[in-house]
Amino acid sequence: MKAMEVLAIVELLESDGIQVWLDGGWGVDALLGKQTRAHGDLDIAVRHKDVSKLRKLLDARGYRDVPRPDTKDWDFVLGDDQGRKVDVHSFTFDAGGKHVYGTGYPADALTGVGSVNGRTVNCIAAEHMVRFRTGYELRETDFQDVRALHKRFGIPIPKEHDEWFKRTRA
């Protein structure tokens, strides 16, 4: 997924009143203010109430469900014929800001601001980006993302990353 495609999706959704936060690799790069690597998809967070509208907007652009064994009503992937993929994570908070449905974002995770190609975008906050890169089989990109966020924002390295970080510390 290229930066211009990311911005086209963000602008499409925002133009129809859908607030969107970048997550995953593009969220990290937005926080860093530059693209650090190629991205195979775009991870986004949206309110669950907007999922139906999001699906209609992306369907009109040729995006269809990509079957996966871990698909849920609040966590699914849409892809088009050109191989672009949008990994959608939706959530619902109650009136007091408590998570009640969907992807378990804490409310303060939705406070990040970054940029893609100079355009300001909402994204998952840096400290949560680091925290979300634990608890599963880590990939090289997870280590690289955490290291970059640590260098830029001083966020402590999670214990799961310690050994890799020590081996690659320059």
Give the whole-angstrom CA distance, residue 11 versus residue 159. 37
Amino acid letter for position 17: G
Which range among 9-13, 118-122, 139-143 shows the weakest confidence by mean pLDDT? 139-143
- pLDDT given at position 80: 97
In-domain check, residue 152: no
In-domain check, residue 157: no
In-domain check, residue 153: no
Can you give the C-alpha Rg of the chain in angstroms? 16
What percent of the chain stands above pLDDT 90? 86
- What's the domain range around 39? 3-127
* Element (DSSP H or E) covering residue 115: strand 112-116
Per-residue pLDDT, averaged over 108-126, amounts to 98
In-domain check, residue 93: yes
- pLDDT given at position 168: 67
Domain total in the chain: 1
Per-residue pLDDT, averaged over 43-49, amounts to 98
Band (pLDDT 50/70/90 cuts) for residue 169 is low
Look at strands 75-79 and 64-65 and give their pairing: antiparallel
Q: What is the CATH number of the domain that holds 73?
A: 3.30.460.40
**pLDDT tens column, 55-103:** 999 999 999 999 999 999 999 999 999 999 999 999 999 999 999 999 9
